Amino acid sequence: PPLEVNARDGLLFEGVPLHVIAAVAGTPCWITGAGTLRRRANALKAAFEARNLPVHFHFAMKSQDHQATLTILRDCGYGVDIVSGGEMKRALHAGIGPDGIVFSGVGKSDLELREAVEREIRQINVESVEELHRLNEIARACGKVARAALRVNPDVDAQTHDKISTGRAGDKFGIEHRRAVELYAEAATLDHVQLIGLAVHLGSQMLTAEPFRQGYSRLADMVREIRAAGHPIETIDCGGGLGIRYKDEVAPPPEMLAGVIAETLGDLDVALSIEPGRWLSAPTGVLLSRVIETKAGNPDFVVIDAAMNDLARPALYDSWHGILPVAPAAFSDALKPWDVVGPVCESSDIFAKDRILPASLKRGDLVALLDTGAYGSVMSSTYNSRPFAAQVLVDNGRWEIIRQRQTVEDLIAAETVPDWLLPAHG
């Protein structure tokens, strides 16, 4: 595990004392562990290799899109799953070639599609018949043939939080699975789209095998149907979704996913790919924060300098993140329940209720919010004029600030006031 405690320095992350990072980088501060990221990237690959299942790995970079993260994963042999033109530029900038890029998303603009087609990325996952035709026109205008997959909605309940379920009938994603054969036939008549296969994404933070099994079995049926209708299928994109333990969940190992994919799709003679985000990146990150104030009452509050604008997940999804003190003494102190909150002026700016932490917590103490590497910094905003926090990479004993803390001056500098609002010059 990336976290350990010693008597001199308190909490360490991948061997680096967190108090040292806080002293230099300030708080709040996102920390990414390169060693943890590499270890997980390799463990995931090993799970599929053990099944003798060749799979392309596309990191869902929406979960964490820093150039350093992408560089590390590129070096582990990963491509990316992107959902915008911005992510495409970031991936290319990090040296991930077009052949390592899969473009998902329910609303790709003309410009985004054109850039993807011109770059000849590996695969564009088309979400509707309308998009299929639009892609065909855009590719025609570029003089190209776009490689596309149909994203189908398999109508499976991922048994996860409502806001991160994506594969139920009525969710906005994908093409109704019953229409896949018909659309495949329609695509075959288009000159500038080459349909190479199918894609699904069932949901996120999935903790059981069953929805994966249902979704992929349905996909396998579709492959057989489409082939029976005379169309070729070379590739299947299985999406992401593998969950992790935040609190006390029993999280399945990647071997589970490899096993289900092997059993349901393994003998179809297609190129397989997966798009994990959270499983790879969540445990690689902590959000380091300092106590601004404690507030005695009922309940007792500890107000920290990170807030919902930094880490939005608790406010958005009621998600649970572990919270640890950093000071060495804190680990032997008496404990009591605290409500851990941020300074933002909203009642939803709460990280934890009744969380058992040292009774001695006081102004100036450091705390670490755990498993914030996925959907953490990437979902930050500057609400309440709170600039984006600094980011740090820890790698095998070394560490470095990899994104400077934004300043309020940066925020103001991006704004202009129209002339007519300014007092006329004398």
Alpha helices in 366-426 (DSSP H): 408-413
How far apart are CB 295 and ligand LLP at their closest, in Å?
A: 28
Q: For ligand LLP, which stretch binds (CB under 6 A), given 43-51, 235-243, 291-299, 343-351? A: 235-243
Whether 2 has a binding-site annotation, put simply, is no
Which x/- pattern over 146-185 shows residues binding ligand LLP (rule: CB under 6 A)?
------------------x-x-------------------
114 is in an annotated binding site: no
Catalytic residue set: 345
278 is a site residue for ligand LLP (CB under 6 A): yes
Least CB distance to ligand LLP at residue 32 (A): 16
Determine how many CB atoms are found less than 10 A away from the CB of residue 89. 12
Q: How far apart are the C-alpha atoms of 246 and 237, rounded to whole Å? A: 27
Q: Which is nearer to ligand LLP, 9 or 157 (CB)?
A: 157
**Angle, nearest 10°, between helix axes 110-119 and 129-142?**
50
Contact flag: residue 273 with ligand LLP (CB under 6 A): no
Number of alpha carbons in the 13 Å side-chain half-sphere of residue 18: 33
SS3 breakdown of the chain: % helix, strand, coil, rounded to 5?
A: 35, 25, 40
* Alpha helices (H) along 299-368: 313-317
User: Would you count residue 81 as binding ligand LLP (CB under 6 A)?
Assistant: yes
Residue 216 binds ligand LLP, judged by CB under 6 A: no
**How many Cα atoms occupy the beta-carbon half-sphere of 67 within 13 Å?**
9
Interface region with ligand LLP, contact rule CB under 6 A, candidates 233-241, 256-264, 326-334, 341-349: 233-241
Q: Rounded to the nearest whole angstrom, what is the least distance from the CB of residue 205 to ligand LLP in the complex? A: 6
Residue 15 marked in a binding site = no
In the chain, the amino acid numbered 89 is K
Nearest by Cα to 294 from 226, 243, 340: 340
- Interface residue with ligand LLP among 275, 349, 365, 395 (CB under 6 A) is 275
The least distance separating ligand LLP from the CB of residue 243, rounded to whole angstroms, comes to 7
Tell me: is residue 17 an annotated ligand-binding position: no
313 is in an annotated binding site: yes
Q: Quick one: which segment of 20-28, 215-223, 226-234, 272-280 binds ligand LLP (CB under 6 A)?
A: 272-280
Which of 307, 326, 324 minimizes the C-alpha distance to 315?
307
CA-to-CA separations, 158 to 81, 199, 285, in angstroms, rounded? 20, 16, 25
Residue 215 makes contact with ligand LLP by CB under 6 A: no
CB closer to ligand LLP, 379 vs 401 = 379
Q: Does 123 bind ligand LLP (CB under 6 A)?
A: no
Residue from the set 104, 136, 289, 309 that interacts with ligand LLP by CB under 6 A: 104
Minimum CB distance to ligand LLP, residue 327 (Å): 29
204 binds ligand LLP (CB under 6 A): yes
Residue 216 marked as a ligand binder: no
- Told to check if 211 binds ligand LLP by CB under 6 A, we report no
Tell me the pairing of strands 16-17 and 10-13: antiparallel
Smallest Cα–Cα separation from 51: which of 240, 263, 277? 263
- Report whether 277 belongs to an annotated binding site: yes
DSSP tally for the chain: helices H, then strands E: 12, 21
Q: Which residue, among 147, 199, 207, has the nearest Cα to 177 in the 3D structure?
A: 199
Among 30, 184, 375, 399, binds ligand LLP (CB under 6 A): 375
- Does residue number 277 form part of the binding site for ligand LLP (CB under 6 A)? yes
Q: In which residue are the tokens 């993140």 written?
A: 321
The angle formed by the CA atoms of residues 134, 140 and 142, to the nearest 5 degrees, is 105
DSSP string of 17-28, one letter each residue: EHHHHHHHH-SS
**Gap between the Cα atoms of 40 and 66, Å rounded:** 17
Contact residues for ligand LLP, defined by CB under 6 A: 60, 63, 81, 104, 164, 166, 201, 204-205, 239-242, 275-279, 313, 317, 374-375
Binding residues for pyridoxal 5'-phosphate, as ranges, are: 241, 275-278, 375
Binding residues for substrate, as ranges, are: 278, 313, 317, 346, 375
